[in-house]
Amino acid sequence: MIKGNTAAAAQLDEELEALDIQQEDLAVDLYATAPPEKPGRIFWEEDRYVQLGLGSVDCSLFMSRLSNEDKESFKKHILTHGEDQILSSSSLLHLVRAFAYSGRELPPKKFDVIWASRSLDNINFRHTKYKIRKFLEYWSDRYPDAVSNDALNFLAQAAPFKNKSNNVESDDPEKSWLSDDEYADVMKAIWNFYDETNAHQPTLIRLLSMQYARRPVQLRSLKFCDLKSGTEKMLSQIPDPEIHFPSAKEQDADVDFRGGKFEIHPVADHLWNMLTIQKKHIKVLFFETMGIELSESQLEQVPVFTTALRIKNACDSLKNKLGLNPALNTSDSLFHLPSGLIGKVLSYEGNGGSTDARKRNYPVHPPLPISVRTGQPIVVNATRLRHTRVRQLARQGVKKSVISYWLGHNDDNALKSYYHDPAEEARQLDQAMSKGLTPIAMAFHGRIICTDAESTHPTDPSKRVELAKGYQLHYVGRCGKYSFCSTTSIPIPCYMCKNFEPLIDAPHQEVLEALLYRQQQEQELIRPGSMRNLLNPIDLSMDIIAVRRCIQLCDAKRKSMNQPQC
């Protein structure tokens, strides 16, 4: 403080002291001229918790035994908990719903151990236990009498919710991935329904989910500005237009709605055409519902999926709840369909309302085709489609890193929640090991002999194995099998038989040359008089490997016996 100010401050202190006034007493009603507080999108209507555009929860029974002071404090801190963005809007809605469900049988009078113990019997409460405990700690820090310490300790030590089933590892044909036939049947049913009813919006929602397996909240968040073509594209090496899906479950997102990164995917022509048609439908729908002609820039910011009823409700909330002009706020999230409604469209529980202002609903979708695995209509939902598409891509040989990016995951480990295919992993393992195991599996397994005396049946003439060449029979070894052998095309199959006992100095090289010549005939172009068998093609690669192995073993045995090679 400069010298002049110091003197003036000292004089002011003397004046205030003479008047018996403290400096703090001058801070009176400083916010009398502050701008009016804007209405929030999350509020209480008496004992009903409301989130505009997302839903509401009746908590009157849950709070019926609380004191007025505790009840008002609970309601206040639920709102501040949301304003501090500790939880997303949807998570906060689930939190309040869990509280409401826990008080249906016996509403709490105090938040103590008895209440906590009884509440954990409710599956919704236990499933949300961690978030509930965090809120109670948040509330207790600001309102010490809210929750007992024993209740907080009990919730901290209680066992978490255990997911009894892991759909990705389940063999339940109604929970795990769709088979290729089931996927094809569902796809056919979608297009048939579209051809018969021209129900454009539900068809587009289902096709986008079948193609990209996005979560309902991502489809809900789409705007037409997320459709990119020409110079707006990000993937310059791919000629196709793009769709940029807003991410879901983005941990570091600052904004709850469309606040995270965007997941970029190329779009095929048939889907791009349907998206273009949808854009025209939505423009007409806004005109018929609100009476305004959207400019091109406004049209880019409206939702891809909405209905006449949704637009009317959004206009009412904007005008009467938030004090905003709907015509100037057509980009608001209230115009977007809720994710729960899109989830019902994907599970064929409805069509989500019509984009025609004169029609409230589309015709009901017929039952889905019958699954061969269950004998019942195929069960479809967003999660099953994610499992299915990941499995399909993995079986096409797409790398895990690509699939993880395709799903919008930052961590490859998250892929384990959607993909577990032991059969495909076994096939890939077999393919990788086949180069090393094939020579072993197809190798010669017999026993080399130098004379007939070393064979298993030295005196049995029926055990001789001979190669017919020209008009002569060349003796190549003996059969060591005790019972009758049904092989007729000897000696070729014998080289892969463990009972074959080839002579060390037999003309095995001639057998190999004959096999190589015959295999070459199979691989040549078709021409008159060729030996190639079109109806029953022959693969002699296994026999060739076995004969070569036999020759190598004969050479090795000659060397060990110091015999000259012939």
pLDDT tens for residues 401-453?
Answer: 788 888 777 665 656 656 665 655 666 666 666 656 655 555 677 888 888 88
Q: How far apart are the first and last CA of the chain?
A: 112
**What are the CA-CA distances from residue 515 to residues 493, 529, 543 (Å)?**
11, 19, 8
Amino acid at position 212, single letter: Y
User: 357 and 485 share a domain?
Assistant: no
Where is the domain boundary, 328, 347, 362?
Answer: 362
Geometric angle at alpha carbon 38, from 34 and 40, rounded to 5° = 145
Please report the sign of the dihedral spanned by the C-alpha atoms of residue 366, residue 372, residue 376, residue 378.
Answer: negative
Residue at 130 is within a domain: yes
Q: In the predicted model, is pLDDT for residue 37 greater than 80?
A: no
Domain-embedded: residue 46: yes
As a whole-number percent, the residues of the chain with pLDDT over 70 amount to: 83
- 131 and 241 co-located in one domain: no
Best CA proximity match to 369, nearest among 207, 190, 526? 190
pLDDT value for 169: 52
Domain end marker among 127, 157, 187: 157
User: How high is the pLDDT of residue 328?
Assistant: 94
Is 398 contained in some domain?
A: no
pTM over 0.85: no
User: Which of 308-312, 423-427, 519-523 has the least mean pLDDT?
Assistant: 423-427
3-class secondary structure, 497: coil
Q: Which of 350, 359, 430, 418 is nearest to 383 (CA)?
A: 418
Query: What are the backbone dihedrals phi and psi of residue 45, each rounded to the nearest 5 degrees, phi first?
Result: -105, 95
Domain count, the chain: 3
Residue 494, CA distances (Å) to 445, 486, 542, 554 in order: 10, 11, 12, 16
**Residue the block writes with tokens 């020579």:** 439
Look at residue 204 and tell me whether its pLDDT is greater than 90: yes
DSSP state string for 405-439: HHHT-SSGGGGGGT---HHHHHHHHHHHHHHHHHH
Looking at the fold, whether 150 and 235 belong to one and the same domain comes out as no
Residues 352 and 242 in one domain: yes
Last residue of a domain, one of 310, 337, 362: 362
